[in-house]
Amino acid sequence: MRSFGFIGWVLFALGLAACGDAKQSAPAGAPPASGAGTAAAKPLTIAASFPAPKRLVAFGDVHGDLDATKRALRLAGAIDDSDAWIGGDLFVVQTGDEIDRGDGDRAILDLFDRLQSDAKAKGGTFLVLNGNHELMNAELDFRYVTDGGKKAFDDLGEERPGVPHVDEAERGRANAFFPGGVYAKRFAERPIIAVVGDSVFVHGGVLMKHLDYGIDKMDGQVRAWLRGEAPKPDIVMSEDGPVWTRLYSAQPSTKECDELGRVLDRLGAKRMVMGHTPQKPDISSACGEKAWRIDTGMSKYYAGNVEVLEITPGGVKVLKEDK
C-alpha cells in the first residue's frame, strides 16, 4: 500500500472531521433520517390549554338572540330558569359570534361576563372565544348590526378620542368595540383558539399555516390589537384565518381531512370543534368525526335548532331540545 505521507494523513483526518460537522449542522427541527429511531415530535402546547373536565358542553353562533342563547345554556345544564349558574364544575365553551344579526347582542355579552364569574365561583368554567363578528365590530364593520343592536350602546355615545367618525346612531357601538373600548378590552381577554382535554375549539378552523406561524403569537397579536396597542394581525383576519376559514365546515375533501389530521396530531388532540358555518338541521361531523361543526343557526335570523355538543370520557353526544 502506498504511504499517505504526513500531509496525506492530515488531509484525511480533516476530511473525517468535515463529514462529522456536516451531520451535526442539520437545521433545527429537521426530520430525522430514515431509520434513525427517534421518538415522535412532542405535541404542541398552547397557552389556552385546559385539562379534560368530567363533562364539557359547547355551542356555536347565537347572533344576538338572547332567548336561543339561554335555551342552549339550559339544555347544557349550565343555568336554571332564573339564569343562575347550576352547572357546578361543568366546562362550557362558546365558539364566538355572539353578536350581530339580532337585537340582544349586548345582553348576551353581559350575560356571558357574569356567567364566567359565577361558573368560576362554583368550580366550573365558562370559556368564550372570539369569532369573526366580534373582530369585525372591532374594525367598525357594522353591516350586520340591527337598529336595536346599535341603540343598546347609546349610553356609550360620548365622543371618544381616536375613534373614527361614524353616524351618530353608531357612535356608542363604535366607542364600545373600537380597539381600546370597554367591550374590545373584554374581547382582548379571550383566546381565539383553545384546547380542552383532547378537543381543539375555534370559530372557523386551525390550519397548518397557523401552527407554523404560532397560535400563541396570533393570540397575543389579537389581544394587543383589541387593547389598542398594535395593528390588527392580517393572518387572523384573512379569508383563511382561524376565525374565517371554512375548510373543514363545508364539505371537506380527503386532502382537507388529511390536513386536519396533521393539525390534530401536532396538537395532541382527537377532534376540532368549530362554529361559523351553519349546519342544518343539526350539529354534524366530518373527517371520521375529527371535525365537529356546532353552528346550527340557532338564532332567530337563521331559524335553526338549538343544540349543544357534549363531550365526556364516554364519548361525544349531541344534545337536542325536546319538541
Nine-digit cell string for 39? 421518538
- In this structure, what C-alpha cell is assigned to residue 281? 338541521
What is the distance between the alpha carbons of residues 219 and 190, in angstroms, rounded to a whole number?
Answer: 9
Strand partners, 273: 201, 292
CA gap 219, 198 in Å, rounded: 20
Is residue 133 flagged as an active site residue? yes
CA-to-CA distance for 101 and 145, rounded, in angstroms? 6
* Selected catalytic residue, list 133, 203, 210, 276: 133
In a 3-state reduction of DSSP, which class is residue 238? coil
Comparing C-alpha atoms, which of 301, 317, 312 is closest to residue 64? 301
The Cα–Cα gap between 88 and 313 comes to: 18
Cβ neighbours for 75, distance < 8 A, ≥ 6 positions apart:
306, 307, 308, 319, 320, 321
As a 3-state breakdown, the chain gives helix, strand, coil percent values, each rounded to 5, of 35, 15, 50
Q: How far apart are CA 189 and CA 135, in angstroms?
A: 13
Kindly calculate the radius of gyration of the chain based on its CA atoms and give it in whole angstroms.
Answer: 25
Residue type, 318: V
The whole-angstrom separation of Cα 121 and Cα 80 is 16
Interatomic CA distance for residues 138 and 100, integer angstroms: 12
Q: Dig out the grid coordinates for 118 from the structure.
A: 359565577
Angle at 290 between CA 287 and CA 296, to 5 degrees: 90
Q: How big is the chain, counted in residues? A: 323
Catalytic residues: 133
